[in-house]
């Protein structure tokens, strides 16, 4: 079974631009979560989608948004990029439907650099 | 601040020795805990998990211990190998209404194995 894939793997943008990152979960997984990883703040939860609905959201500004499609693929968007948005953005998928936690499988991440 | 943290940022062990990585959490409502291993340039990789109704769980060469009284989690790696060198994260899940996509990660411990 193929793992979680993320595209692109590397991205360089300038301040003020916007960016869209893509995540394809493991086949059959309907839950997709996004995380931001930086040396200073570590791994921080952005949001979770399940069946095209945002089910949970972390403490990030509204510039960070996401969506999920009917095939469970997910995208996240960051508008008006700031230098501090430079990070590794990780996507994780899970097979769980409701009720109780399950293992999350992570993709390799997208390394975003904002200049 | 973060509710999950680690006692030691770095740990250096001799090949063949046992490693113990510690983690403290502050939210007594957390019901699920996971240890992840992250190698350079890769996303976190699941090692082992434990639910709050257990105090010990064993995997292949790894054991996770959960002490809910003092809100402490540890990962024990037996016969540590050079391939175990990585950053290890503990994560907790607050199961709000069945949503389990929100993992709160600790800062991580870098494990270095000396041959």
**Residue B62 maps to which CATH number?**
2.60.40.10
Q: List the single residue in B with minimal CA-CA distance to A96.
A: B100
Whether residues A94 and B100 touch (CB distance < 8 A) is answered with: yes
Is B100's CB within 8 Å of A42's CB? no
- Tell me the per-residue pLDDT of A46-86, one tens digit each, with 9 for 90 and over: 999 999 999 888 999 999 999 999 999 999 999 999 999 99
Q: Do A107 and B43 touch (CB under 8 A)?
A: yes
- Residue B8 pLDDT > 60: no
CA B65 to chain centre: 10
> What are B31-78's pLDDT values in tens digits?
889 999 999 889 999 999 998 889 999 999 999 999 999 999 999 999
- The structural domain count of chain B equals 1
Contacts of residue A91, defined as CB under 8 A and 6 or more positions apart, other chains included, come to: A4, A6, A21, A23, A25, A32, A33, A34, A35, A74, A76, A106, A107, A109
pLDDT over threshold 60, residue B98: no
Range name among B9-23, B67-81, B88-102 with the lowest pLDDT average: B88-102
Cross-chain CB nearest to A48 (options B51, B89, B102): B102
Contact A103 B32 (CB under 8 A): no
User: Does residue B2 register a pLDDT over 80?
Assistant: no
Whole domain around residue B93: which residue ranges?
4-114
- For B76, the token pair is 């024990």
Facing residue for B100 by CB, picked from A102, A105, A108:
A102
Instruction: Name which of A73, A87, A81 is nearest A29 in CA terms.
Output: A73
pLDDT for res A10: 97
Mutate to test the interface with A, among B43, B53, B101 (most CBs of A within 10 A): B101
Specify whether the backbone of A28 is left (phi greater than 0), alpha (psi in -120 to 50) or beta: left
Q: Judge: B44–A43 Cβ closer than 8 Å, yes or no.
A: yes
Nearest CA in chain B to A107: B43
d(Cα A2, Cα A27) in Å, to the nearest integer?
7
Q: Which of B49, B89, B101 is closest, CB to CB, to A31?
A: B101
Q: Please write down the HEC assignment for all residues of B77-111.
A: ECCCCHHHCEEEEEEEECCECCECCCEEECCCEEE
Q: A99, B34: Cβ pair inside 8 Å?
A: no
Q: Based on the number of CB atoms within 10 Å of its own CB, is B80 exposed (0-12), middle (13-18) or buried (19 or more)? A: buried
């Amino acid at each position: 079974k193929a793992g979680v894939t993320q595209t692109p793997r590397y991205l360089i943008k300038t301040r003020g631009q916007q960016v869209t990152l893509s995540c394809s979960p493991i086949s059959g997984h309907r839950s997709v979560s996004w995380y931001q990883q930086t040396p200073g703040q570590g791994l921080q939860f952005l949001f979770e989608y399940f069946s095209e609905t945002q089910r949970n959201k972390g403490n990030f500004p509204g510039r960070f948004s996401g969506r999920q499609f009917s095939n469970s693929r997910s995208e996240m968007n960051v508008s008006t990029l700031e230098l501090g948005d430079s990070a590794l953005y990780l996507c994780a998928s899970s097979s769980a439907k409701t009720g109780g936690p399950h293992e999350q499988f992570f993709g390799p991440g997208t390394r975003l650099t904002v200049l | 601040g973060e509710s999950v943290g680690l006692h030691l940022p770095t740990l250096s062990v001799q090949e063949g020795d046992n490693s113990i990585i510690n983690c403290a959490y502050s939210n007594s409502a957390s019901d699920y805990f996971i240890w992840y291993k992250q190698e350079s340039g890769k996303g976190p990789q699941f090692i082992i998990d434990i639910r709050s109704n257990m105090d010990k769980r064993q995997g292949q060469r790894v054991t996770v211990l959960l002490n809910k009284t003092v809100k402490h989690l540890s990962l024990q790696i037996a016969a540590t190998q050079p391939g175990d060198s990585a950053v290890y994260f503990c994560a907790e899940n607050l199961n709000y209404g069945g949503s389990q996509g929100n993992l709160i990660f600790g800062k991580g411990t870098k494990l270095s194995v000396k041959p």
